[in-house]
Every structure is written in C-alpha cells, then in structure tokens.
Structure 1
C-alpha cells in the first residue's frame, strides 16, 4: 500500500511541476499580465454591444451610460490590479454595486472575479477575505435581495469556483517560491564552499611557502655564510656571495607573499593541510641546522602517538623554532630539541638555543604567531622567550588530537 501511495505521488509530481512553472511564467511575464485585462475588455465590449443592440426603442439613456461608465471604471481597475490589488478591487466593487440595478452583475461580474482571484491567490488571508466579502456584496447580494434566487445561486457558484481556483494557485505558487528560495540558498552555500576551498588552498600554499621554502632558503643562507672566506678563491667567494644574495631576496619575497596571504585570510593560513608530516620528517630539518655549523642535540622520551595531527604540529613547531635560530639568533652555537611524550597522549616540544635574538627580528616573524594560533586552536599552548640558563626557548604543549588512534600503530624511535 505504501509503495502504491509513493508511486501515485511521484506520478503526480511532473503535472504539479508543469502547473507551477506555468503559474510562475504567468506571474513573472509582463506581457502575460496583460492577457486578463485585454480579455476582459474584449468580453465587455461584446456584452455591451449585444446589450445595447437588444434595447427597446424607449430605453433610458441615463441607465445605459451609467452601465458603460461603471464598466469602463472597473476595466481600468483590472489594468491597475498589480499595484494596489485590494484597493482597486474595493473600488471596482463600488462601481459594480452602483450599476447593479441596471445589469444585475451580468456585465460587471467577470472583471470582479478576475480582481478577486488576484487578491486571494497572492495577498495575505485578511485581504483575501476582505476581497471575497466585497465581491459578494457587489456581485451576489444585489441579485439575492432583488429576489432572483436562481441567478443569485449562479453568481455564488462562480464566486466559490474562483476562490477554490485561487487557493489552488496560491498553494502551487507558494511551493514554487519555496523551491526557488531553497535553490538560491543552495547556490549561496555552494558559493561559500567554493570561496572557503579557495581560501584553504591559498592558506596551504602560504603555509608551505613559509614553513618549507622559508626553511630551505634560510638553510642556504646559513650554509653560504659559513663558506664565505673559507677558500680564498675570489671566483668561488663571488659565487657564494651571489647565492647568498639570491637566497635572501627569495626569502624576503616569500615572507612578503606569506604576509599578504595572511592578511587576506587571517587565521585560516595553514589550516586544512592534507600533506601532514610525521615524526621522522624532522630529521632533515636538524641535519640542515648541523650543516650550517650548529651543534644540534635531539632527545625524545616516552612513546610516540600515532596521531598524525599531533605529529604534524610537533614537526612544524620544531622546524619553525630551528629556522628562527638560523635566521634571527646572534652568536648561536648550539640547539637542543626535546620531545617529551606524556602518558595522557600529549607531547611537549622544547627548542632551546644559546644565542641572542637580533634586535627587531621579533617584529618581522609571522611563523611563531601563526603556529601559536594553530596550537591554541588544537587545545594546546605555545610560549617563546628567554630560557632560564640563557639563550632563547620555544616551548609548546600539544594535546592528543586523535584519541581513537590505534596505539598499536605507534611509531618507534
């Protein structure tokens, strides 16, 4: 039984959709909006011509002119129905009531029904009730009061039929409007999703520029500075100096691009990365620092978590802190990196160096501030400042971000 009901409902869907689209075209088209007024004009012209042609020789001209002027006024109201639907309907009903003694609604009824249909089909229920009552008072009541019961019944049937048709049209129109609003909302959501995806793509690019390219250029700068003056070969020294200048220019451009992207997308920079790093990815970073002439010590305690997001954050903090030593620390000779994995799944990352920060360098850096937002967004904390035994220290506490990860997959050191 349920399947039959569903099949019947689905079979009725195309018909309702066609009717709804037709009603929508009727409402939206200015040309079609003139169909009803023009049809009323033609119909009234035929009716009045027939009425006048059948008048006896001793007719009252005043009554005929009254009917003609009332019909003309009602037709004008039909043309103006889109602007003030209820107001013009009430005015038309007043003219129809004035001509009722002459025609008993025979020549003014069709325009009145057209006006009533427009109000009932599109206006609120209070206005719809007012329009129906006004049409009954002008179209049905005079005939009923005059004692023409059969004609009054015909008028009442026409009013009821038009009201039913108007309510059907109203339901289909409301459904079409709801479907259009839903589609507009979906389109807006798709647009927001596209803009969010584009922002995240730019953010990933900015993050990689700062973290990967920036680190590599910093390592090149440190290596070339270590080679300057080591051989005494002028050609070699000039080449090393040129490489150093190019690396510095590239680093400056990279940082400028990162700042611009950060200004466009705020804290979203670096969010939504799919190419996350694992624990062992830190080894090349430390090797770069050793190649630059620094003594690097790395210690790790506890058991690594299989949490990829935690590993990526630990890697990013370590790489950023190491890169800042190469870039900003003065007279730095040693870096100590410690990863301490606690039993609750958190990881504390500590990076210390024995150098002194270059004056004003802290104002130029954006990496630690961005990483601080990422760590805080993950529920952790990041601090940077002078270490108790001299030098500089970066310390981050990163909670377990994936408690459901299988501990059997944990990597071993």
Structure 2
C-alpha cells in the first residue's frame, strides 16, 4: 500500500507543478478505483482463507465423529451379539441339556426295545441341536471378518484418515476369493505400506488398487500411483517387510516403475481346500 501511494504521488507531481488539474483528478480517481479493487480482492482472499480453514476443521471434526460413530456402532453390535449368545446359552442350551437328561432317564427306564430305539433317535437329534446351538453361540461371541470385503473396509478407513483418493477395481471374481485370515492381513498390510510410501514420495495423493482372481488359483493385488522421480527404486525396509509378508503366506511380491507409475504387485496362491469348500 505504501509503494502504491508512493507511485501515485510520483505520477501526480509533474502535473501538479504544471497545474494540470484535470489530469490530476483523473489519476486520483483511477488510483482510488484500483485501490478499492485491491482492497476488495484482499478482503475476499482473506475471507476465502478463513472459510477454507473452517472447512478443513469441520471436515476433520466430521471424520473424528464418523470414526467415533463407527466404533460405537461396532461396540453396540458386539454387545448385542454377546447378549443374544448369552440368551441362547442360558435358555435354549440349558433346555436342550435338560431334555437330553430326561430322554436318557426315560430310555434307561423303558423295557420296550422299540421305545428305547425311538428315544435314542430323539436323543441324537436333541444332541445335534445342542451342538449346533453351541456352535452358533461361539460364532456370535467370536465374529471374524475376512476376505476382500474386510480389506476394502480397512482401506476405506485409511483413506478417510489420510486424505488419499483411492480407486478400486475388482476383476474375475476376486470379491469371492477364499482368502484365509492370515492372507487377508498380509494383503491389507501390503496395501497399507504401499499407500504409506505413496504419501511420502509421490506428489499426487491418489492411487489405484486392483484386486483380481487369476484362474481361480491365485489372488492378485496391484497398487499403482504416479511417481515423478527418475532414480531407480531402492529396496527399503517397507518393501522388504511387504515381501516377507507375502512370502510368509506362500506368495510373492514384484515392485517396478513403468511410464511414470510406481507399481506394487503381489500374488497369493489360494488354498485348494478353501476353493473346493
């Protein structure tokens, strides 16, 4: 502003000495218009900056509340499952156990072989029902999430927390690939480490993730992101850790740089018994 006023003064002085009032008025009027324009631009920029900071704060608060709601909802579902499991164990389980005892007493007291055989069959059915009830109670208490759906949920959470834009692509029945819990964890850790490397070294915070089932025998994951450095890829601790995780579950990892893209590709063999099942 001081520089602006100084330049206007320098422009006016020659005409002031020549007493050219009309030119002086035009210069002052134009200077005032430009000054108001600069002032309006400054105020608008300042307001935009304040709004942007407020938006970022609200967005961060929204993510915090969203994570809290997800956690609360998960705890609520867990408590509900445990309550149902307790009710099933205390009511159905105990009643079936009492029924088994009564059937055994009736079978021992019966003198008719045909009746004993019928009671024995009923007892077997009651025992099967009791075993299924116990299995259902155990499942409710120990709910395990696995497979590709669990990986996607975990990555979406990472995406929301890290301001990263992730594009998913699922091909050839990868969504129903029978991944074990150990394989699921290995794939997720590879994706997580790849995204962490991307956030550290890439100028663009976006990545593409491809999940694919190859010939129903292998599960393939590919993570690619823009990569501007021209130097060769160095095998650091992160890449070594990813490679060890894949090898631990019988898979392999390949890292390469191609056409401005940094690509991490992992492949895991699917267990035949899981596929047949």
* TM-score, length-scaled by structure 1: 0.29
* TM-score, length-scaled by structure 2: 0.41
Structure scoring higher RCO (CA < 8 A, sep ≥ 6) equals 2
Higher strand share goes to which structure? 2
Kindly name which structure, 1 or 2, has the bigger radius of gyration based on alpha carbons: 1
